[in-house]
Structure 1
Amino acid sequence: MDTWKIREIKAEDNQQVKHLIQSVLVEMGVPKVGTAYEDKALDDMTAEYDGDRKTYFIVEENNKVIGGAGIAALKGTEEPICELQKMYFLPEARGRGIGTKMINTCMDFGRQHSFEKCYIETLPYMESARKLYHKSGFETVEKPVGDTGHYNCTVYMLRNL
């Protein structure tokens, strides 16, 4: 039986989520500029994802946030494309099928909110993440779609919902 669950973020999760995202980015050697590390949204993820057609899911185990991912309309395009955002997991969450379940949860949310495609940006050296995205139906595309503001993320991926 799984000891973890996926649920929508609550205000009391904000600091844990910010710490989780920034610590994983540091662990992976990600630049602190031009990536999610410097996003102002990290200060209040509950407020950032409060609204129509967007949400942030967290993975909770033993009252600890061990992962998370957001889904929202992709900025900078009129097309019905959502973006998988800020998907990160602590080491203890990896290799347990949680990432696949999280992607499926986010894709279901996207379909329920009339998005037709989902987009994600990542980094070339985040190999495990790229493998997971490919396994989940994402395909690499040549150039960025929309405007995420993450100019240091150079791998662009898209999938149909």
Structure 2
Amino acid sequence: MSITIREIQPHDNAAMAVIIKTSLEEFGLNIPGTAYFDESTNHLYDAFQIKGSKYYVAIENNEVIGGVGIYPSNGLPADTVELVKMYLAPASRGKGLGKTLMQKCITLAGELGYHHIYLESMPELAAAVTAYEKLGFKLLDKPVGDTGHYSCSIWMLYQIKP
């Protein structure tokens, strides 16, 4: 079985919305101030049509099994992009796919001229936070920008190597 990573297509919207929402439900995070209630969660393809953004999906056996994107969220410095909506189906976790997806976003962010990648998370997603730290993301004391995810209490920043 091989996994293909490609840019999101309109027909991927429903599958990614299910992965995001069921993942948040799994951790009891289907609460306001999270991606669960973002309008864009149901329309990822459309949301990622703006300049400086891109969303990747991972496909196995013609089925969407996860995704992640970068997005120039409101209020971020011009040289910073946000790593957003990083979710994998439960059976696809713990196999290095998340790392592969994040590295693809880091490479793209550098190619697009960004110097930093910002992300927000929650203590309930400890495995993800550990993965971010292993990639080189550093904890911040407060949020950056205006993402609308006021329920997030973990903020991290990655410095892209020049």
Q: Which residue of 2 aligns with 1:42?
A: 41
The runs of at least 4 consecutive aligned structure 1 residues that moved more than 2 Å come to none
Q: Deviations over 1:113-138 (max 9, x none)?
A: 11000000000121100110000110
Figure out how many residues of one structure are paired with residues of the other and give that number.
Answer: 160
Counterpart amino acid of 2:124?
Answer: Y
Unmatched 5+ stretches in structure 2: none
- Contact kept, 8 Å, 2:33 with 2:150, in 1: the verdict is yes
- In the alignment, which residue of structure 1 is the partner of 2:99? 100
* Counterpart for residue 76 of structure 1: 75
Q: What's the CA shift for 1:29?
A: 1.0
Gaps of 5+ in 1: none
Secondary structure at 2:123 match in 1: coil
Partner of residue 114, structure 1: 113
Q: Which residue pairs with 1:130 in the alignment?
A: 129
Structure 2 counterpart of 1:156: 155
TM value normalised by structure 2: 0.95
- Stretch moving more, 124-133 or 71-80: 71-80
- For the residues of structure 1 that align with 2:35 and 2:110, how far apart are their CA atoms? 25
Q: What is the percent sequence identity of the aligned residues? A: 36
- CA distance in 2 between partners of 1:90 and 1:121 (Å): 19
Residue 64 (str. 1) matches residue 63 (str. 2): yes
What is the one-letter code of the residue matched to 1:128?
Answer: A
Partner AA of 1:111 in structure 2? G
- Computed over aligned residues only, the root mean square deviation of the Cα atoms, in angstroms, reads 1.0
Equivalent position of 2:12 in the other structure: 13
What TM-score do the two structures reach when normalised by structure 1? 0.96
Question: Is the 2:21–2:30 Cα contact (8 Å) retained in structure 1?
Answer: no
* Whole-angstrom CA distance in 1 between matches of 2:82 and 2:120: 9
